[in-house]
Structure formats: structure tokens, C-alpha cells
Amino acid sequence: MSVQITASEGGIPHDTLMAVGLIGSIVCLYLTYLNGATGTDVFSFFGGLAAVFALIWGTDTIKHLCSYGIGTGVPSAGMIAFGTGVIAMLLATQFDGMYLAPIMAVVIGAIVGFVAGFLANNVMNMNIPVMIRSLTEMAIIGAIVIMGLTAVMAGGFGFDALSVTMVQILGPLEATSYASSLLGGCLIAVAFMLGGIALQHPFNACLGPGEQQDRTLMLAAECGFLSMIVVAAISFAFVSMFAAVISLIVAIAGWYYTYAKYIELSRRDAYAWLNAKPILEPKGEA
């Protein structure tokens, strides 16, 4: 029998965060299809924004799951999310030609996550009331995050785009190469780890009696943009210089804003926890 431990009270309901995260990430993933419609790859940065939406939702999901006394299981939850999510993401790429890859990632992720949650509760006897729902959500989140970060690096998420690139041979001659592709170079593993750390870190860092939802979610957004900076830098090897620069600018701007807001919220909660007045800076600002 598990016991729920409430990490913090109030704030935005989880169902609302799930709806915003799911709809926001799906819309952003579909906006990356503008690359094909316009014959460019400048809209790749929408994949990173999709990952940020999903990570904010996923951080609250982990908080709900780990409120049942498995706080040390936060890293495990992040790895399960992306282990099941990568299966859903790779299978969903087969539907890219029909513009169904984002939707199929959600559907396949839900199936894989439900099976993982059912096995955890009914075979491993973990008996956590929110286990099946949480693992279902996290498999979807893992698939969306990997798909979004992949879109930033490769400009899309079709299997052919991920597995084959064109390389020049003897000047004007070109040939296909698997080794220099995103999958051949194991860059999907980079997306896996960047997403996994960004998903599990925020609640792990803010966990405790002073945990506040807005501060935790702001850290989730900051970690998402930090991961986007890395994949935007990698994208210089796969997409046009202009598209990579746009992704990098969006990622840095998003990271700077969320980092500043996170520090502001951390100071607010530190003042409240210590029951002390803010220490004034030399210019008179807190």
C-alpha cells in the first residue's frame, strides 16, 4: 500500500498543464512541417518549443508520481519516459509522409506507456494509484521531446531524413551516407540524454518542503531551452546556416528569460523560507 506525500499545494491543476503541454507541443511539431511547404528549414526551431511544452507538462507528471513516496525514483522515471518514448518516436516516423508522425507518436506512446505502467503495478506489484496514467503520459512526453529535439537538429523527423544524408565525393558527385546521418552518428542518443536530464532535474532540484510549482515549472522551461541550445549548435552540421542561427537565437533568448525568472522565484522563496527581509543590492533593488 503506497502513501501519498503532498509536495506542494495549490497552483495550476495537473489536467490543465497536461492539456496545455499536449496541445502546445503538437501544434509546434506540426509547424515544423512548414519546412517542407516552403522548401526551407528555418522553421526547425518549432521542434525545440514543442520539447519545452512537453517538459513543463512532464515535470508536473513526475511530481505527481513521486509524491507517492518514490522521490528517489525521479531519475528512473525520466529514463523510463525516454526509453518508452524513443520506441514511439521511431515507429511514428514511418507515418511522416502522411503528416501523421506527431499524432502517431502520441498514440503509440500512450500504448507503450500503458503497458509499462500495467506491468509495474500488476506484475512488479508497485501498487501506486497514478502509476499507469503517469507512465502513459511520460511515454508520450518522451516521444514528443525526442521528436522535437530531432527536428531542431535535422529539420524534420521522417525516418529517411534521420537515417540518410548526402555527401559529396570528388567534387560535384554525391552519394548517400548512413554513417554521417543523425541516426548513424548516434545523435538520437544525445537527444535522449538531453531530454531525460531536462525532465528529471527540475523536480529533483526543487524537491522539499519549500517546493513551489511555479518555480519548479520555470526550471523545467529553463532546462528545456538549455537542451535546445545544445541541439541548435549540433544543427549547424545538418541544416542551413540561417536555420541553425535562428534556432540558436530562440534557444538562448528563451533560456535567458527563464533563467532570470527562476532566480527571481528562488529569491522570493528563500526570503519566505527564512522569514527575513530581502537583502538590498547596491542600486536599491532586491
Establish if 285 belongs to a structural domain: no
Establish if 186 belongs to a structural domain: yes
Establish if 165 belongs to a structural domain: no
Q: What is the CA radius of gyration of the chain?
A: 20
> pLDDT (tens digit, 9 = 90+) per residue, 91-135?
998 898 889 999 999 999 999 999 999 998 899 888 888 889 999
Establish if 170 belongs to a structural domain: no
Per the CB < 8 A criterion, the answer to whether 237 and 197 are in contact is no
| Residue 131: all three cell numbers together | 502509476
Domains: count for the chain: 1
Establish if 49 belongs to a structural domain: yes
pTM higher than the cut 0.85: yes
Helix axes 74-92, 131-154, angle to 10 degrees: 60
Establish if 7 belongs to a structural domain: no
Per the CB < 8 A criterion, the answer to whether 275 and 228 are in contact is no
Q: Which long-range contacts (CB under 8 A, 24 or more apart) does 89-92 make?
A: 89/142, 89/143, 89/146, 89/147, 89/150, 89/157, 90/159, 92/143, 92/147, 92/157
In this predicted model, which residue has the larger pLDDT, 64 or 286? Answer: 64
**Which of 39, 47, 132 lies closest to 89, judged by CA?**
47
Domain range enclosing 257: 14-159+177-273
> pLDDT (tens digit, 9 = 90+) per residue, 125-178?
888 888 899 999 999 999 999 999 999 998 888 777 677 776 666 666 676 777
Q: What average pLDDT score do residues 7-18 get?
A: 80
Establish if 88 belongs to a structural domain: yes
Confidence of residue 1 (pLDDT cuts 50, 70, 90): very low
Establish if 184 belongs to a structural domain: yes
State residue 105's pLDDT score: 96
Per the CB < 8 A criterion, the answer to whether 63 and 204 are in contact is no
